[in-house]
């Protein structure tokens, strides 16, 4: 048993904080919250804390102002402001919900909860103060604070708005007040241009420019008050498109143009369209400007015809035309590994969520990737949307990992949670299957094989050591029934399936998958339903904890899509991307 015995070890160093602003140009419709959440997730999995500042959905503020005029006529501004801010309040709640769906811990805070104070006119106010302590506090137990842009509280008027484009000002102000490392304004263009790129397709984009030049060049793109506030506070603004690597930096720096670079879309083969694959496909289809899809490999094409997806049950068709990227979400171990190896050998990047295939064929897949120089990414294979491998790789590159233990199987944790509520084992398993958490053969979850596959990958990331899943001792979940689970709860304990590993003094790794009760104050005790958690101890004695959703369509698809976007950004920056037809510029 690998007990975690350092509860008082110091917590990890403060992670970097960034402010991301999502304007109405990228929040055009409800489905865009998933894309915005994916962008936030990209920063969270890189270890950053995020303040996400949101505008209303496109057209909503205009509709509210029209409604105000229709109902109230020439009403006092302070009353108009009370209605005009509603679009941002709703948007912040929607953004927090989109993040919750993928398992990112987000706190939505209203302006009064953060004491976000403004002065001046009710419809064109200026921000003056913020209680940054409230945000700090929320970020102790969440990865993200979601804040509505554009509105604040005012001593005399009660509530006020900040003028059109005011969410830019909110974002800059938050960055200045919290000491965030950067503020990124996410727009429907990839930066600030010398001329309007809609009018002149050859317009030059700036890599960097100073505040005054930005104010002149970005009319209609960035609120002038926001640029002035950034200049006064010395805040560096990044202006970027959703998912982009590149940005225009607005700082106290001379103007510099970005090299002209138009990337063609990435050609993608998606293998599998089940619980996870369908979520990945939804993300890919939303970015038709970046991805060109091959027919999707499915078992039964007729089943998908109604959804307007071009499908095939023939692997050769799914892989036709030499795709740049193969996304494998089929399940199984040997066959998908064989396909991925072939794709890597041919120079295609591979992204997969398949822990069984990667754990069993780790060396051959990596050898194929090394030989061709193609990328092989499998973040979703461990933890679903919980970035377990990323944290361990970071620690391995830094202080080194001493031990790690976690809840790494969502189905198992779901079943144990339901047993604690009195459900029968078979009913709990059936529910986990219906929710898309369980493996095709759920005995992989129940017997601990799935957790052992993941633990084998954890051991590679943490220690660079090979320990095959078969060599890891496992206990079955079926040793626990509802009565046992409830008795444990009554005495202050909760059953967990815990996968743990530790580096021994002789350099070997001890590992096991156990099903055992832990006290309520154990760091893994709070994981509910399909949640996953990891607690790692580094070699300097620091404890690092991660929380997320380990199973299910959207958390897993978020992790797969984050890998896909990493591949896309690397591709867009490469010479290969320039070799052919220009991209379709419109988003689907």
Place of tokens 């005495």: 491
Nearer to ligand HSE by Cβ, of 91 and 497: the residue is 497
Q: Looking at the DSSP assignment, which residues form a beta bridge with residue 531?
A: 549
Nearer to ligand HSE by Cβ, of 405 and 445: the residue is 445
Distance CA 560, CA 277 (A): 9
Buried b (16+ CB within 10 A) or exposed e, 244-268: bebbbbbbeeeeeebeeeebbbbbb
Distance CA 151, CA 56 (A): 11
Give me the residue whose beta carbon is nearest to ligand HSE: 411
Q: Is the Cβ–Cβ distance between 154 and 119 less than 8 Å?
A: yes
What secondary structure letter does DSSP report for 1?
-
Distance CA 542, CA 546 (A): 13
What secondary structure letter does DSSP report for 11?
B
Residue 355 among the catalytic residues: no
Host H or E run for residue 140:
helix 132-141
Distance CA 406, CA 578 (A): 43
Which tokens belong to 54? 């949101």
Phi and psi dihedrals of 30, rounded to 5?
A: -55, -40
Which tokens belong to 376? 């092989």
What are the residues binding ligand HSE (CB under 6 A)? 384, 409-411, 437-439, 445, 450, 550-551
Closest to 405 (Cα-Cα) out of 513, 551, 556: 513
Nearer to ligand HSE by Cβ, of 291 and 414: the residue is 414
Distance CA 127, CA 150 (A): 10
Distance CA 83, CA 68 (A): 7
Q: Transcribe 26-60 into DSSP letters.
A: T--STTHHHHHHHHHHHHHHTT-EEEEEE-PPTTH
Catalytic residue, chosen from 49, 418, 454, 549, is 454
Cβ 499 to ligand HSE shortest distance, Å: 11
What secondary structure letter does DSSP report for 300?
-
Residue 471, judged by CB atoms within 10 A of its CB (0-12, 13-18, 19+), counts as: exposed
Which tokens belong to 297? 């490999």
User: What angle is formed at CA 4 by the lines to CA 405 and CA 43, rounded to 5 degrees?
Assistant: 45
What secondary structure letter does DSSP report for 203?
P
Closest to 380 (Cα-Cα) out of 280, 285, 281, 466: 280
What are the distances in angstroms from CA 238 to CA 21, 22, 185, 242, 525?
10, 12, 6, 12, 40
What secondary structure letter does DSSP report for 504?
-
What residues act catalytically? 454
């Amino acid at each position: 048993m690998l007990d975690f015995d350092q509860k008082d070890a110091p917590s990890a160093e403060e992670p970097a904080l960034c402010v991301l602003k999502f304007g109405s140009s990228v929040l055009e419709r409800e489905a865009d919250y998933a894309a915005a959440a994916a962008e936030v997730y990209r920063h969270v999995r890189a270890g950053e804390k995020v303040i996400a500042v949101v505008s209303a959905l496109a057209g909503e503020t205009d509709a509210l102002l029209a409604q105000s005029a229709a109902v109230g006529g020439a009403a006092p501004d302070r009353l108009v402001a009370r209605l005009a801010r509603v679009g941002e309040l709703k948007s912040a709640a929607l953004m927090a919900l989109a993040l919750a769906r993928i398992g990112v811990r987000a706190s939505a805070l209203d302006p009064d909860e953060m004491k976000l104070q403004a002065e001046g006119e009710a419809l064109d106010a200026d921000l003056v103060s913020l209680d940054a302590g409230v945000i700090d506090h929320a970020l102790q137990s969440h990865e993200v604070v979601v804040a509505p842009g554009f509105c604040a509280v005012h001593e005399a008027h009660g509530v006020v708005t900040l003028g059109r484009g005011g969410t830019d000002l909110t974002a800059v102000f938050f960055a200045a007040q919290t000491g965030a490392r950067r503020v990124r304004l996410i727009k429907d263009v990839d930066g600030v241009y010398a001329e309007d790129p809609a009018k002149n397709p050859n317009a030059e984009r700036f890599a960097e420019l100073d505040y005054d030049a930005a104010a002149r060049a970005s009319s209609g793109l960035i609120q002038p008050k926001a640029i002035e506030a950034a200049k006064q506070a010395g805040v560096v603004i990044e202006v970027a498109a959703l998912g982009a690597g590149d940005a225009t930096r607005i700082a106290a720096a001379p103007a510099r143009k970005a090299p002209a670079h138009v990337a063609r879309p990435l050609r993608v083969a998606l293998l599998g369209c089940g619980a996870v694959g369908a979520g990945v496909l939804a993300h890919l289809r939303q970015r038709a400007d970046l991805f060109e899809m091959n027919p999707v490999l499915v078992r039964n094409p007729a089943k998908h015809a109604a959804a307007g997806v071009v499908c095939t049950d023939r692997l050769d068709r799914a892989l036709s035309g030499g795709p740049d990227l193969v996304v494998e979400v089929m399940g199984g171990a040997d066959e998908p590994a064989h396909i991925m190896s072939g794709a890597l050998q041919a120079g295609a990047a591979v992204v997969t969520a398949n822990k069984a295939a990667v754990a069993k064929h780790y060396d051959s897949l990596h050898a194929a990737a090394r030989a061709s120089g193609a990328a092989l990414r499998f973040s979703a294979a461990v933890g679903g949307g919980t970035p377990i491998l990323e944290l361990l790789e970071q620690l391995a590159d830094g202080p080194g990992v001493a031990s790690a233990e976690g809840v790494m199987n969502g189905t198992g944790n779901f079943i144990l949670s339901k047993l604690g509520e009195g459900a029968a084992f078979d009913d709990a398993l059936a529910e986990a299957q219906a929710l898309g958490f369980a493996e095709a053969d759920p005995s992989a979850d129940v017997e601990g094989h799935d957790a052992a596959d993941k633990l084998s990958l954890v051991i590679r990331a943490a220690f660079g050591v090979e320990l095959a899943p078969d060599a890891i001792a496992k206990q079955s979940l079926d040793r626990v029934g509802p009565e046992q689970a409830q008795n444990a709860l009554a005495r202050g304990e909760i059953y967990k399936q815990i996968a743990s590993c530790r580096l021994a003094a002789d350099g070997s790794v001890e590992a096991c998958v156990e099903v055992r009760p832990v006290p309520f104050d154990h760091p893994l005790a709070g994981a509910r339903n399909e949640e996953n958690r990891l607690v790692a101890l580094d070699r300097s004695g620091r404890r690092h904890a991660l929380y997320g959703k380990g199973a299910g369509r959207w958390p897993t698809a978020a992790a797969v899509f984050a890998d896909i976007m990493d591949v896309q950004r690397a591709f867009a920056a490469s010479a290969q991307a320039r070799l052919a037809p220009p991209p379709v510029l419109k988003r689907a």
